[in-house]
Amino acid sequence: MDAINWSELSFGYMKTDYNVRCYYRDGKWGELEVSSSELLTIHIAATCLHYGQEAFEGLKAFRGKDGQVRVFRMDENGKRLQASSRGIVMAEFPVEKFEEAVRKVVKLNERFVPPYGSGASLYIRPLLIGLGAQVGVAPASEYMFLVFVTPVGPYFKSGFKPAPVCIMRGYDRAAPLGTGTIKVGGNYAASLVAGRKAQENGYAAVLYLDPKEKKYLDECGPANFFGIKDNSYITPGSNSILPSITNKSLQQLAKDMGLNVERRSIEVEELATLEEAAECGTAAVITPISQIDDLDEHKSYVFSKDGKPGPICEKLYNKLKSIQCGDEPDPYGWVTILQ
């Protein structure tokens, strides 16, 4: 292959050597299969195409200074994929099999795990889709699990530099009692119009409000939200946001650094009192927010004027990265070293 310029990678797709697949037929999951094809051949009436029976995950593998490859919290992604499957009536993929598939696909594509210190990582994308044909609205009886990998750089162009986001009340990514808490493609389809509008206006992302009252902060299109004030890490408690594994990890790290952790409703106006604000997620890692423009109320909440991340965001970022790469011990058992 042509040499990859690891430090210049963006968050995009690159062909790798193999993907791993598994089929659910006659009420049971089969064996893991290895494929070198980037293509799928599926039925024209497959439920994933018509009725959105599709859920996905995102996790990362990192290469350490010691050359070893570490995967971050894959059991959590396996469990969340099961929750997503229950949410849209798909067959649940066993967590142990999920972990086996992840280990296998990373091993098979080990030459694509970016070198230590490059700032890049190997993004792992598991996918579960309804394959069976239906024309009436009903769940499929056949499913496919698939996992591919691709080396990636930062999700937001800014990387670990503060970026602006906006609030627009005219759009929701999920309904109040809808699919916001699970990782299904429909949520992302629903975010595309607002996302494009935000980008056209120079924003990295939309910060959605709760879809019922439009009073509280929910999350960003591809990431959770947190703020820092008075030695507290504050993140929205909401039943229309994705339970982010990165956010859960940061809450633990914040607690162990001596911060208070508050998971609760955050009114939009409370933004005025925050000292730092950021997005967090597998792809976003921690992306500090420079300012939040409320486009309906014509108000701006500014967190960084000098283009630098706030001190707590920086501390959390360094701690998380060090555990992921193996620079620091992992007292939480979050990391799986691939043998």
- In sequence order, the 6+-apart residues with CB closer than 8 A to the CB of 17 are 36, 108, 109, 111, 112
Q: Which two tokens stand for residue 239?
A: 């039943």
Q: Where on the chain is the footprint of ligand PLP (CB under 6 A)?
A: 58, 219, 222-224, 242, 244-247, 281-282
CB of 125: closest distance to ligand COI in angstroms? Answer: 8
Residue 144 burial (CB count, 10 A):
22
Q: Which two tokens stand for residue 248?
A: 């859960």
CB of 250: closest distance to ligand PLP in angstroms? Answer: 9
**Separation between Cα atoms, residue 207 and residue 280, nearest integer Å:** 12
Pairing, β 54-56 against β 121-130? antiparallel
Q: Where on the chain is the footprint of ligand COI (CB under 6 A)?
A: 58, 188, 222, 281-283
3-state SS, residue 51: coil
**Residue 270 contacts residue 230 (beta carbons within 8 Å):** no
Residue of this chain nearest to ligand PLP (CB atom)? 281
CB closer to ligand COI out of 127 and 259: 127
Pairing, β 232-236 against β 260-264? parallel
**Separation between Cα atoms, residue 300 and residue 150, nearest integer Å:** 37
DSSP category for residue 119 = S
CB of 309: closest distance to ligand PLP in angstroms? Answer: 18
CB of 53: closest distance to ligand PLP in angstroms? Answer: 18
Chain centroid, CA 285 distance in Å: 9
CB of 198: closest distance to ligand COI in angstroms? Answer: 15
**Separation between Cα atoms, residue 339 and residue 103, nearest integer Å:** 9
CB closer to ligand COI out of 227 and 281: 281
User: Which of ligand COI, ligand PLP, none does residue 238 bind to, with CB < 5 to 8 Å depending on kind?
Assistant: none
CB closer to ligand PLP out of 24 and 208: 208
- In sequence order, the 6+-apart residues with CB closer than 8 A to the CB of 118 are 6, 7
Pairing, β 163-167 against β 285-294? parallel
CB closer to ligand PLP out of 46 and 238: 238
CB of 282: closest distance to ligand PLP in angstroms? Answer: 3
CB closer to ligand PLP out of 84 and 244: 244
Active site residue 212: no
**Separation between Cα atoms, residue 271 and residue 216, nearest integer Å:** 10
User: Which of ligand PLP, ligand COI, none does residue 276 bind to, with CB < 5 to 8 Å depending on kind?
Assistant: none
User: Which of ligand PLP, ligand COI, none does residue 224 bind to, with CB < 5 to 8 Å depending on kind?
Assistant: ligand PLP
Selected catalytic residue, list 107, 161, 183, 214 = 183
User: Which of ligand PLP, ligand COI, none does residue 174 bind to, with CB < 5 to 8 Å depending on kind?
Assistant: none
| Residue tagged 């920086």 (tokens) | 314
CB closer to ligand COI out of 140 and 182: 182
Catalytic residues: 183
